[in-house]
Amino acid sequence: MTRRAVLTACMVLAAFVAVADDVATVSRVFRLDHVSVSEASDAIQPLLTTRGSLTLQPQLSRVTVQDSPKVVAQVAELLEEMDQPPGNYRIGIELLEGRSKPYPASQEVDVDARLKRMFKFASYRRLGRTVLEGDLGGSAQANLDEGYHVGFDSAAQEPTPQTPWGSADFGDRIELKNLTLEKIQAYSGGDSETIRLVRTSVFLFPKQEVLIGAGKSEQAETGLVLIVQALEPEGN
């Protein structure tokens, strides 16, 4: 066999192998420990070829992918990145009441310069302070003094879509959704009423502190300041 014939045969064999690899399909079962089956499905679907298929088993937390070896390998890499334990949070909450007249020395608390610039009250007293911690994706709530109640739903910051200029890197920024401050107002006779004072969402970088005001108006004699801070998890 001439050298040219050998080279031609090798090229034909390589092309056959490439076609065979493209035509072949494999099946693999993935067990999910942290991400939901629906979330995994949404991420996998765009990767599948026209010959691919996806079988969902929500009760068993499993997905079965059948497609080319290349696609199945891509799915395995994607799920390894997605199916991670949730991060955790540790949020410091403090509620202050400010007023235009000084509080008694036994009640008055010192506040930093930033708070003094943002709110023009002459004096502040504390209505409660707590630390809430847990896994991202969960909810937290706590009772403060004098019938006040605070709560939120936690979530990791969703990645931003890619743009021609790239995407923003939020690092460890977390979101507190439905951050609420309520007052349980008790009346004589045993009746009570829940008054919602604040409902918002905030994004926090590690160690970042956010000040949220709650009052009838900027000219009111008294008002509330909710201080929310992202603390480092214990042990870091």
> pLDDT tens for residues 172-207?
688 999 999 999 988 888 888 999 999 999 999 889
Dmax over CA atoms of the chain, in Å, equals 106
Domain boundary among 36, 53, 82: 82
Domain boundary among 26, 50, 82: 82
pTM across the whole model: 0.64
226/126 same-domain check: yes
Domain that holds residue 69: 18-82
Q: For residue 87, give the DSSP letter.
A: -
pLDDT digits (tens, 9 = 90+) for 46-67: 999 999 999 999 999 999 999 9
124/146 same-domain check: yes
CATH number at residue 66: 3.30.1370.120
95/151 same-domain check: yes
- Strand ranges in 39-191 using DSSP code E only, listed in sequence order: 53-57, 62-67, 88-99, 123-135, 139-143, 148-156, 174-186
pLDDT digits (tens, 9 = 90+) for 150-180: 999 998 765 544 444 444 444 568 899 999 9
49/69 same-domain check: yes
74/122 same-domain check: no
- List the structure tokens of 80: 């390894």
